Every structure is written in C-alpha cells, then in structure tokens.
Amino acid sequence: MTNLVPLRRHFHSIYGAEPRLFSAPGRVNLVGDHTDYNDGFVLPIAIERRTLVAAAQRADRSVHVQSTRFPTKRQFELDRPGPRRQNGWLDYVEGMAQSLQARGVELTGADLLIDSDVPTGAGLSSSAALEMAVGLALCSLAGDEKLSRVELAVAGQTAEHDYVGTMCGIMDQLIAALGQSDHALMIDCRTLEATPVPFARPGAVVLVCDTKVKRELASSEYNRRRAECQEGVRALQEVLPHVRALRDVSLPELEAHAARLSETVRKRCFHVVTENERTLAAARALSEDDLAELGRLMVASHRSLQVDYEVSCPELDLCVEIATAEPGVYGARMTGGGFGGCTVNLVAEEAVASLSEALSREVERRFGTRPDIFTTRASSGVKEHL
Ligand code: GLA
C-alpha cells in the first residue's frame, strides 16, 4: 500500500490542513462469480492493494476532490447534485455523497485527496474501494456513524446504480467494507450475512495475474447476463412458484424444467445454480484445509464461466491453461465480471516464481502484452488509519 507520510504532506501542500486518513481494499473473488445479483453466494478476499483518502472538514457545503493520479482539482456542492454519469472517477465520489445523504447522513463539506494502488479497469473493484473509503471518510468527518458497514456497502451499490449507471451486484462493496486480514468472506448475497473463513495457509499463496485486457462490451454483456437470469427466473416461476431468484433453484429442478428455457438462458442458469453449489463447497473445503479441493472447484468455476456463462476471453483462458499445467498450482480461474481483467491463482509458495515466469512469457508471446503479476494476502476492509 502507498506510504501514508507523503500523502499527508501532499494533502497539506494543497489544502493547508492536517488530514485524517481512510482506506479500503480492492478484491479478488476465490469462487462465486455472477451469483451475487442472483441472491447467491460469493467467496472473496480483500487484497493488500488499497485506495487511500486523506480528508479534512470544510466550513462550507462543498466537497473538493483531487487525485494523485489526475491532478485537476474538482468540486461539487452537497446541496446541488451535479449531472449524473459524467463517466469519470468523480461520479463515484459525488454518487457516494448523494447516496449517504439520501440515507439521512448529515454530511459536512470536505477536502479530499485520493491515492490508490488498485489498478482501474482491471476487475479488482477499484470503484468499490473508492466508494467505501470516501464513504467512511465523509461519515467520519461529519461525526455521523449511524450507518453500519453493511449499510455503507449498500450505499455504494446505490451510488453505482443511480449515479454512475453500473448495475453491479453487492459483492465488491461488501468485501471492501467487511474484509478481514487472513480471512476469506463467505457472503450470502440475499441476507448480506458475511462469515469469515480463515485463509492464511503457510506455504499457499494467492497470485493475481492482471492480463491488462479490458473489453468494451463488458458492461453491456454484464447487463445482458442479468436480464437472461431474470428471464430464467420468470420461466421457472411458472412451475416452481417458490423461486424468487436463481438462488432458489436446485440442479435437479433446473434439469427437470430445462426444456422451458432457451438454450442460452439454460446455460446461464446452469452456471449460476452450479456456481452457488461450488461456492458453498469451496467455503467448506477451505475451512477443512483442503486446498486441492478448493483448487479443483476454482478450475470448475472457470470452465463454467467460460463455457456456460460465456464471460471469459482468450487471454484469461490462456492464463488458466498455463496455471493448471504448472506443478504446485492448486487452482486458477478468472475473477470478477470477466471480458478481461485478472485471474486468481492458488499456488504453493515454491511454485510462485515459475508460474509468474510462465504467465509473463506465454501471454507476451501469444498476445504481445505483459501481464502485471503480484501476490497478496487476505487483507482488511475499510478503515481509518489512526
Ligand atoms: C462485477 C460486479 C459484481 C459481481 C461480479 C461478478 O465485479 O461489480 O457485483 O457481479 O462482477 O461476480
């Protein structure tokens, strides 16, 4: 994570005041993708890369924002919401402020300086990290602690839906809000209950491979998948009235009624139903220290996302092929929304160097780009640095 001292100094040089410091992590998901908006299960960890917000109160009702990455100072007024969807990082900040106010948090004006080592557009949830860090900063400056961490996460999701225009699920905000060091979180996205599962194995490492690929169709295809799942729910409800979401459908039920679904919708539903089972099984495997089984479930999850949900891409598939052929790798899969971004690998410590080398070499040879590869432990959720 970025050093705090230079950020304090930088803040002082811009705003002439001493800031308070807040941060929230990016995330990788071990298993359970495209399940959150189907009321299902996810098993993410918070990563060590974080977004930092240095913040101080202002006497007026303005919020001034600057980023160390984009040094133009921007500002907005708490009482006059600016236009939505300007397609910039400021949308997340202003969206979060509006979303908090809509929940009755009485915000004060603020000076903010943002710094981050979570890459943007890499599928590591840089936006949720920004929302959670800004959200906690604004609530704390205002001395208003009424929102729980879960409510903060929901406020972030609302900011994305209403202000930014991304119809995301709740996984990214929840793990950025609730992440725990050395634990994965098993999250039930219907009840929003998060159960920590110890995840610090001597000798086993999480290695993230950022392909640096970002497909333009990611967000339109994401919305299309959501609609296909809804179509599946509607068709299945005709014969299974208890079904509120795909979470409520068992595999035997899906198989029995598959003929009611188009080929595409059947495949999407098949992914979600089996992915929920894999996620529950993965949490069990992790708590029993069965890394071989966890790894097997990760690879099965990738295949399902690739073949049935069709959200992978050649670069991600190549990274998984390379990893699964490498000795000492328990499992590998794409992580997050797909169409580019990262793979997550669970690797024996002694295999980290050879896997990293094989991934760099082969991705560059086949696609001409150099992936960014790093290891991470499970880290903590949003917090103030006191
Ligand atoms: C994106 C969304 C999440 C989730 C994942 C896929 O990261 O923001 O809510 O749907 O894709 O699991």
CB atoms near residue 15 (< 10 Å): 20
pLDDT over threshold 90, residue 82: no
Give the span between the Cα atoms of 137 and 143, in whole angstroms: 10
Which of 91, 96, 60 is closest to 74 using CA atoms?
Answer: 91
Give the pLDDT confidence score for residue 136 in this predicted structure. Answer: 98
**Which H or E run includes 63?**
strand 62-67
Give the pLDDT confidence score for residue 216 in this predicted structure. Answer: 76
36 CB less than 6 Å from ligand 1? yes
Give the pLDDT confidence score for residue 146 in this predicted structure. Answer: 93
Give the span between the Cα atoms of 42 and 33, in whole angstroms: 7
Atom of ligand 1 nearest to the CA of 29: 12
Give the span between the Cα atoms of 202 and 184, in whole angstroms: 15
171 CB less than 6 Å from ligand 1? yes
pLDDT over threshold 80, residue 1: no
- Sign of the Cα torsion 223, 225, 227, 230 reads negative
Domains in the chain (CATH in brackets) are 4-198 (3.30.230.10)
Through-space distance between the first and last CA atoms of the chain, rounded to whole angstroms? 16
Which of 322, 331, 306, 326 is closest to 367 using CA atoms?
Answer: 322
Catalytically annotated residue among 91, 172, 210, 248: 172
In this prediction, residues 148-163 reach a mean pLDDT of 97
122 φ/ψ angles, rounded to the nearest 5 degrees: -105, 5
Q: Are 52 and 22 in contact (CB under 8 A)?
A: yes
336 CB less than 6 Å from ligand 1? yes
pLDDT over threshold 80, residue 247: yes
160 CB less than 6 Å from ligand 1? no
Dihedral over alpha carbons 269, 271, 276, 282 (to 10 degrees): 170
Give the span between the Cα atoms of 90 and 203, in whole angstroms: 41
Atom of ligand 1 nearest to the CA of 125: 7
Atom of ligand 1 nearest to the CA of 169: 9
Give the span between the Cα atoms of 226 and 35, in whole angstroms: 10
Give the span between the Cα atoms of 340 and 119, in whole angstroms: 13
DSSP codes joined into one string, 134-179: HHHHHHHHTT---S-HHHHHHHHHHIIIIII-----SHHHHHHHH-
Percent of the chain at pLDDT above 90? 92
Ligand 1: which of 29, 39, 172 to mutate, judged by most atoms within 8 Å of the beta carbon? Answer: 172
* Closest C-alpha to ligand 1, atom 9: 169
Is the pTM for the entire model greater than 0.95? yes
Ligand 1: which of 125, 171, 224, 226 to mutate, judged by most atoms within 8 Å of the beta carbon? Answer: 171
Give the pLDDT confidence score for residue 350 in this predicted structure. Answer: 97
- 172 noted as active-site residue: yes
Q: How far is the CA of 350 from the centre of ligand 1 (A)?
A: 31
Q: How far is the CA of 169 from the centre of ligand 1 (A)?
A: 6
Reading phi first (left if > 0) and then psi (alpha if -120 to 50, else beta), residue 39 is in left
248 CB less than 6 Å from ligand 1? no
172 CB less than 6 Å from ligand 1? yes
Give the span between the Cα atoms of 59 and 110, in whole angstroms: 8
Task: Name the pairing type of β-strands 44-57 and 204-214.
Answer: unpaired
pLDDT over threshold 80, residue 2: no
168 CB less than 6 Å from ligand 1? yes
**Which H or E run includes 224?**
helix 218-237
In this prediction, residues 284-296 reach a mean pLDDT of 97
Grade residue 86 by pLDDT with cuts at 50, 70 and 90. confident
33 CB less than 6 Å from ligand 1? yes
* Closest C-alpha to ligand 1, atom 1: 337
pLDDT over threshold 90, residue 210: yes
Atom of ligand 1 nearest to the CA of 222: 11
